[in-house]
Amino acid sequence: MRLPLFIASRYLVAPKQLGAINIVTRVSVLAIAVVSMTMICVLSIYNGYEQMILEKVVGLDPQLLVTRWDESPFDQGAVSKQLRAVSGVEAIAPLVWGEGLVSSAGGESFSATHLYGVDSTYLSISQMDKYLYGGDIAIHPGQYNLGASIAINLNAVAYDTIPLVITLPKRKGYINPIVPMTSLRRSQGVPVSVLFTDNVLYDNTIFVPLTELRSLMMLDDNQVHGLALQLKEDADESAVQRALTAELGDDYIVRNRPEQQPHLMRLVAIEKWITSLIFAFILLLAAYNVMASISMLLISKQEDITIMRALGQTPREIRRTFQLEGLMVTLIGAVTGIAVGIILCLLQMRYGWLTIDLAVESQPYPVAVRCTDIVVVLLLVFAIGYLAAVYPVRKLIAHRKA
């Protein structure tokens, strides 16, 4: 292995008889470096966009959310006891949610809404005050905190003056078919605040007192749909999440903030990796330069191949010599391109030279470098470079044997 590697390194750095081989080799290194650099930069920008979008849309999502795997109600007492047994959990807030219809008392306007039943603990966990657009947040009976879209649909701009009626279908019990209204349950209150979170779900949500929504949905006093968790400042979120999952078993799911937005994260991931696939095809085109340089080198080194055979080198060792040169060309380009890409990303993170224009302001392009992207790019370039090095060597040496 040492001799083929030594000869390959000499072929790489030593001047060739044909100057075109040196030019093609340098072009190969440059092409792979440019593609590798671009992949790192583009993937890092996607990571930055993912973080920026996540910061905007997580809104009132808790740090960790515990639900049953089928999203059905469960008894909070027993589960809360298990959660408090795990180190790192600071606060637990019960949550109840459902879908309903909200209308003004006179029935002039109405809107479908998502209902969120919360208590005082949730207020401190979610920091709802950050998203307060108007009014004062309150969770007393008969007082509703409206998402911005609901407030606009109902024209609820005057707080504590416009009665609202929330209507839900009756979940259980007797329903008189002669009186259709017996299939519905209603609750009336007034809006006390408007929240703007820039999240479609929460902007179409009404936050109501936990006990009131439980009553509307005919749930038991201890039943909840989920438990919102706030961890201690020094707690490792991933470690706590794994410990909670092991403690609760397969019947429950513990989600962090990105996992609470699965559709959005899946969309960003699909866009990111489709872009990577497009760059992989561009990398294939760059790999043709590697194939060309190796092919030209093989043709110009026929006398050297004859000498190698005379000195006792096997055909496998001869093939490995030229394959190693192709791999070195690929790796030099890949490492150089990745290093330059990382430097450019770090400079953008530090100085924010490139900006994106928003509606009323501009901000630097968001960038986030991840080790997984670096490893993926390196492995992808290495795999394509390996194929580009192996194929021409096998073909040309086999042809010479024939």
Tokens standing for residue 338:
């990745």
C-beta of residue 212 within 8 angstroms of C-beta of residue 187: yes
Q: Which of the four pLDDT bands, split at 50, 70 and 90, describes residue 1?
A: low
Is the pLDDT confidence value at 68 over 60? yes
In the chain, how long is the greatest CA-to-CA distance? 103
Q: Which of the four pLDDT bands, split at 50, 70 and 90, describes residue 402?
A: very low
11 against 367, higher pLDDT = 367
The C-alpha atoms of residue 125 and residue 90 are separated, in whole angstroms, by 10
Sign of CA dihedral 153, 158, 162, 165: positive
C-beta of residue 59 within 8 angstroms of C-beta of residue 198: yes
Q: What is the pLDDT of residue 174?
A: 67
- 238-284 pLDDT, tens digit per residue, is 999 999 999 998 899 999 988 888 887 888 888 888 888 888 888 88
Q: What is the pLDDT of residue 289?
A: 79
Q: What is the pLDDT of residue 395?
A: 64
Report the relative pairing of strands 205-209 and 143-147 from DSSP bridges. antiparallel
Among the residue ranges 124-128, 185-189, 336-340, 375-379, the one predicted with the least confidence is 124-128
The separation between the first and the last C-alpha atoms of the chain, rounded to the nearest angstrom, is 26
The C-alpha atoms of residue 93 and residue 305 are separated, in whole angstroms, by 75
Q: What is the pLDDT of residue 118?
A: 94
Q: Which residues is 166 bridged to in the sheet?
A: 102, 187
The C-alpha atoms of residue 221 and residue 100 are separated, in whole angstroms, by 20
Q: What is the pLDDT of residue 177?
A: 66
CA 391 to chain centre: 37
Q: Which residues is 185 bridged to in the sheet?
A: 168
User: Which three-class secondary structure string do you get for the chain?
Assistant: CHHHHHHHHHHHHCCCCCHHHHHHHHHHHHHHHHHHHHHHHHHHHHHHHHHHHHHHHCCCCCCEEEEECCCCCEEHHHHHHHHHCCCCEEEEEEEEEEEEEEEECCCCCEEEEEEEEECHHHHHHHCHHHHEEEECCCCCCCEEEEEHHHHHHHCCCCCCCCCEEEEEECCCCCCCCCCHHHHEEEEEEEEEEEECCCCHHHHCEEEEEHHHHHHHCCCCCCEECEEEEEECCCCCHHHHHHHHHHHHCCCEEEEECHHHCHHHHHHHHHHHHHHHHHHHHHHHHHHHHHHHHHHHHHHHCHHHHHHHHHCCCCHHHHHHHHHHHHHHHHHHHHHHHHHHHHHHHHHHHHHCCCEEECCCCEEECCCCCCHHHHHHHHHHHHHHHHHHHHHHHHHHHHHHHC
Tokens standing for residue 384:
């394509």
Burial of 22 (0-12, 13-18, 19+ CB in 10 A): middle
- 352-388 pLDDT, tens digit per residue, is 888 877 655 677 888 999 999 999 999 988 888 888 8
- 142-180 pLDDT, tens digit per residue, is 899 999 899 888 876 656 667 889 999 887 766 666 666
Q: What is the number of other CB atoms lying within 10 angstroms of the CB of residue 295?
A: 19
C-beta of residue 365 within 8 angstroms of C-beta of residue 41: no
Tokens standing for residue 163:
């009665």
Q: What is the pLDDT of residue 391?
A: 74
Q: What is the pLDDT of residue 208?
A: 94
- 202-228 pLDDT, tens digit per residue, is 899 999 999 999 999 989 889 999 999
Is the pLDDT confidence value at 133 over 60? yes
Tokens standing for residue 396:
């040309």
